[in-house]
Amino acid sequence: MGKLGFVQVEVSTKCQLNCPMCPRSCFKDEWISKDMDLNTFTLIPFKRFRYAHLQGWGEPLLNPNIDEMIEMARKHCKVGLTTNGLLIERYLGVVLKLDLLSVSVASANPLTHHAVRGFNLEKLKRNIKLVSESRKAKSKPKIVIATMMLKNTIETLPRIVDFALECGADEVIANNLDYIPSQSLIGQEVFGLQSNQQVEEILDQIKMKAKDAGIRFVAKQVVMDEALVCAENPVDNCLITVDGKIAPCVYLHLPTRSDYIVRHFRGKRVEVPKVYFGSITQWRKSDIRVTFEKRLQVLYQYLPLELPALPDVCRSCYKAWSV
Ligand code: SF4
């Protein structure tokens, strides 16, 4: 049997920060902050996947067993994680074992970054440079700067290319605010049903700047369009939560005490049930996975095929709308 795609593993739901767009800040009264234990981690069938991303809703370097976890997973597949970067210096030897290190940066503007993250952008840059200057082969770990396109920071986005260059990073990914956990965040997203000329021009400017700098730049789509399958692709990929449950993606799981997830979709508050499976086999047979698999079949049909509707829990997820 061929290998599955990626397994995302929520090794910690703790975080030192309190970023306003993070569900951890929005649902702090019901958040369950904990680390995945080694026994649970040992049960994950890494050999069935090509890649493991050790991050869910939380900061992975806060798990005291992160070194051992990376060692265990890398025996079977490639391994990466996304970090806020605060602990890179302490865990330098550990992150150098990764195939991919993604560092989340709120903005390349020092004041904005400090306002959102509460820590110094220069210090973060020094931490990332430690990795780029210490890696033996230029390609490993691949260093990705992950940032978010927001209405109030999009104008300063081109500076992220300079930041990436100064850090020695390989790639910049500009994500969308694709999960809106709180009403106060509505309107901060830059995507919409129609193209926004200002946003498109800024993205074109960054693409040219990145090309000149020799840095790969990937921006998420900013016009909504129903996807055959979302980028999380639950046909091939899944999430293992901090408690060892299997979910189709992070958007159908939150480490909170509620059985429901609150989303704001196109200006409206929506509640969807969390979705978990007891085993990899149950996930493979699940309605969500089978529905997306059928939707993908239209790519291989000569005759027009009726497209199955998006699963109920996905209709109000922006990932299903390609952003
Ligand atoms: S569309 Fe569905 S499966 Fe895809 S990310 Fe959203 S909730 Fe998850």
Q: Whose CA is nearest to atom 2 of ligand 1?
A: 314
pLDDT for the residue numbered 317: 98
Tokens of 111: 């004041």
Q: Residue 199 carries which DSSP code?
A: H
Looking at the predicted structure, is the pLDDT value of residue 196 above 80?
yes
Report the residue among 57, 230, 239, 262 best suited for mutation to probe ligand 1: largest number of ligand atoms under 8 A from its CB. Answer: 230
In this structure, what DSSP letter does residue 29 have? G
What's the half-sphere exposure (Cβ side, CA atoms, 13 Å) at 206? 28
- 6 pLDDT exceeds 90? yes
Query: What number of H helices and E strands is found in the chain?
Result: 11, 11
Question: How far, in Å, CA of 99 to CA of 59, rounded?
Answer: 18
pLDDT in tens, 231-268: 999 999 999 999 999 999 999 999 999 999 999 999 99
CB atoms within 10 A of CB 197: 8
For residues 198 and 123, give the distance between their C-alpha atoms in angstroms, rounded to a whole number.
31
3-state helix/strand/coil string of 93-125: HHHCCCCEEEEECCCCCHHHHHHHHCCCHHHHH
Distance 308 CA to ligand 1 centre (A): 15
Cα 64 to ligand 1 centre (Å): 30
319: CA distance to ligand 1 center in Å? Answer: 6
| Distance of alpha carbon 118 from alpha carbon 100, whole angstroms | 25
What's residue 136's pLDDT?
76
What is the whole-number distance in angstroms between the Cα of residue 214 and the centre of ligand 1?
Answer: 33
Extract the tokens encoding 34: 């904990």
Mean pLDDT of all residues belonging to the chain: 95
pLDDT at 304: 67
* Identity of the highest mean pLDDT range in 105-114, 133-142, 162-171, 305-314: 162-171
Percent of the chain past pLDDT 90, that is, above it, reads 92
- Would you place residue 300 in the very low, low, confident or very high pLDDT band (cuts 50, 70, 90)? confident
CA of 238 to the centre of ligand 1 (A): 10
Ligand 1, CB within 6 Å, residue ranges: 230, 232, 234, 248-249, 251-252, 288, 313-314, 317, 319-320
